[in-house]
Amino acid sequence: MKIVRYGIRLENLTEQSAEMVRQWRNDDKIRQHMFYTASISQQQQQAWFKDIDNINNFYFVIYSNNKPVGVIDIAAINWSRKTAQSGLYIYEDACIGTDVPVRASLAMLDVFFLLLGINKVYAKVKGDNKVAHAYNTSLGFVKVNEIEGGFEYELSKEAYLQKAKQLRDSLMKLNGKGATITLQTSHKTDKWVQE
């Protein structure tokens, strides 16, 4: 799947990009914010990729100005309950503290809430990651559980549409309101454009 919206491009993780993501994930600046802090080997990454390469998990490389800058995901999707887990990190230092994470989050959440029928998204944040706590709250996530080492947040479709309305409206004015979603299989390519 590829999503283009708000001046950001999200491209499904591939076997090739998974190695770049592994190197990012093993960097101390990213690893310190993860619940699992051990270094990940190539073999572990390959096994993980095979496990998540399905219709219930969407890991995207975030592209800003045609450069890969981070990772965002919506995973562990339960299509019958319409729920999922989500995560995000920005690797490129030049994009930290910019609107790139917001644009990536809104692009992905718009598609999964508005087009693909997800109703609730959960995120886990380490207790000491104050930036992530503030960021999730700004999108409408609410803290619902204390978990070992941090907290679990929940975002409903309704809360998202209400809390992120001003952000979405501003980004639509700047970048246009359409979203292009491309689904590719070995047999065909389907493309949707959301207005």
CA 53, 59, 64, 70: dihedral to nearest 10 degrees? Answer: -120
Phi, psi angle pair for 48, to nearest 5°? -60, -45
User: HSE on the CB side for 165, CA within 13 Å?
Assistant: 5
pLDDT score, position 188: 44
DSSP 39-91: ---HHHHHHHHHHH-STT-EEEEEEETTEEEEEEEEEEEETTTTEEEEEEEE-
Phi, psi angle pair for 35, to nearest 5°? -70, -40
How far CA 132 is from CA of 13, 43, 104, 110, in Å, comes to 23, 29, 15, 20
pLDDT score, position 185: 43
Segments of the chain scoring below 50 in pLDDT: 184-188, 195
DSSP 73-87: EEEEEETTTTEEEEE
Q: How many other β-carbons are positioned within 10 Å of the β-carbon of residue 193?
A: 10
Contact 187, 12 (CB under 8 A): no
| Whole-structure pTM value | 0.90
Residues 138 and 164: their CA atoms lie apart, in Å, by 8
pLDDT score, position 173: 82
User: pLDDT tens digit string along 134-188?
Assistant: 999 999 999 999 999 999 999 999 999 999 998 888 888 887 666 566 654 444 4
Q: How many other β-carbons are positioned within 10 Å of the β-carbon of residue 49?
A: 19
pLDDT score, position 164: 92
Kindly give, in sequence order, each residue whose CB lies less than 8 Å from that of residue 42, ignoring residues fewer than 6 positions away.
19, 22
